[in-house]
C-alpha cells in the first residue's frame, strides 16, 4: 500500500534509517537500496513516498521509496504550481486526531478510577485477597514494558512481540498498563483491529472480576 511520511532518522554510514508516517503506528525501516533513485541523498526531515511491506514477522519496511517532491514534479500539470494553496496532510490530520483522542483518554481515566475503586473496595470487604493489590500493578507494569519492547523491536527491525501475547497480558489484568503504553508510547494506538480485540479483553476481564465479587463470592458454602 502506498504511504507517505518523513525521514526521522538516517544512519549514513550504515545506509539505513526510519520513516514516520501518521498512517502507521510504528516507524518504518528503510534501506538505501530501497530508494528508486539510486543517486538520492536521504536527509532527516525529507518527505517520502513508499510502499509498506512486512517480512518475516518483523516491523514494517519501506520499498520503492521516492522523495515526494520528485513524485509531484512528474505528476503535477506544468501550468499548476506544485504547492498551490494546499496545506500539508499532517496539519489537516492533527486537529482531528487531538479532538478524538482527548475524549477517549478522559473516559479511559474514569474507567481506570472506577476499576481501582472496585478492587480496593473488594479487598477491604474481603471479597478479594490482598494479593490482588500487588498482582494487578505487576501485570500492568509487565504489559507496559512488553509494549515498549515491541515498539523498540519495530523501530530496529528486530523480532516483534506477538499481538496475542499483548492481549493475554491485558486479559490477565495488565490492561491498565497496556492502556498507558498506547497513549504514552503511541504504540498500537491506531490499528483498529488490534484495539477491538484489546477492548474485548478489558470487558472480559472486568466481567470476570464483577462476577467473582458480586456473584461467586455471594454463594454460600454448604457444610
User: Is 195 contained in some domain?
Assistant: yes
User: Is 84 contained in some domain?
Assistant: no
For the chain of 223 residues, list the mean pLDDT of each consecutive stretch of 10. Answer: 85 87 84 81 87 78 80 49 48 45 71 90 90 93 94 84 94 93 89 92 94 73 44
User: Is 88 contained in some domain?
Assistant: no
As a whole number of angstroms, the distance between CA 139 and CA 170 comes to 8
Same domain for 71 and 122, yes or no, is: no
Rounded to 10 degrees, the C-alpha dihedral 184/189/194/195 comes to 90
User: For position 221, what pLDDT does the model report?
Assistant: 45
User: For position 103, what pLDDT does the model report?
Assistant: 57
Q: How many domains are contained in the chain?
A: 2
The domain of 70 spans: 2-75
User: Is 155 contained in some domain?
Assistant: yes
As a whole number of angstroms, the distance between CA 134 and CA 127 comes to 16
Q: Tell me the pLDDT tens digit for each residue of 41-56.
A: 888 888 888 888 887 6
CATH number at residue 58: 2.40.50.140
CA distances from 111 to 100, 106, 131, 137, 178 (A): 17, 9, 22, 16, 14
Amino acid at each position: 500500500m502506498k504511504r507517505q511520511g518523513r525521514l526521522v532518522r538516517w544512519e549514513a554510514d550504515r545506509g539505513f534509517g526510519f520513516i514516520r508516517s501518521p498512517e502507521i503506528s510504528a516507524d518504518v525501516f528503510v534501506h538505501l537500496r530501497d530508494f528508486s533513485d539510486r543517486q538520492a541523498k536521504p536527509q532527516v526531515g525529507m518527505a517520502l513516498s513508499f510502499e509498506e511491506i512486512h517480512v518475516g514477522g518483523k516491523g514494517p519496511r519501506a520499498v520503492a521509496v521516492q522523495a515526494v517532491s520528485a513524485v509531484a514534479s512528474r505528476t503535477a500539470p506544468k501550468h499548476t504550481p506544485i504547492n498551490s494553496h494546499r496545506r500539508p496532510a499532517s496539519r489537516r490530520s492533527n486537529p482531528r486526531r487531538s479532538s478524538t483522542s482527548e475524549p477517549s483518554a478522559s473516559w479511559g481515566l474514569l474507567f481506570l478510577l472506577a476499576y481501582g475503586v472496585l478492587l480496593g473496595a473488594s479487598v477491604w470487604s474481603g471479597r478479594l485477597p490482598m494479593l490482588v493489590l500487588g498482582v494487578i500493578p505487576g501485570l500492568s507494569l509487565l504489559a507496559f514494558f512488553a509494549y515498549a519492547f515491541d515498539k523498540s523491536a519495530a523501530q530496529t527491525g528486530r523480532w516483534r512481540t506477538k499481538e496475542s501475547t499483548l492481549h493475554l497480558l491485558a486479559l490477565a489484568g495488565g490492561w491498565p498498563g497496556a492502556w498507558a503504553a498506547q497513549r504514552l508510547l503511541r504504540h498500537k494506538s491506531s490499528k483498529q483491529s488490534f484495539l477491538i480485540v484489546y477492548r474485548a479483553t478489558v470487558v472480559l476481564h472486568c466481567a470476570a472480576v464483577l462476577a467473582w465479587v458480586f456473584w461467586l463470592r455471594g454463594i454460600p458454602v454448604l457444610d
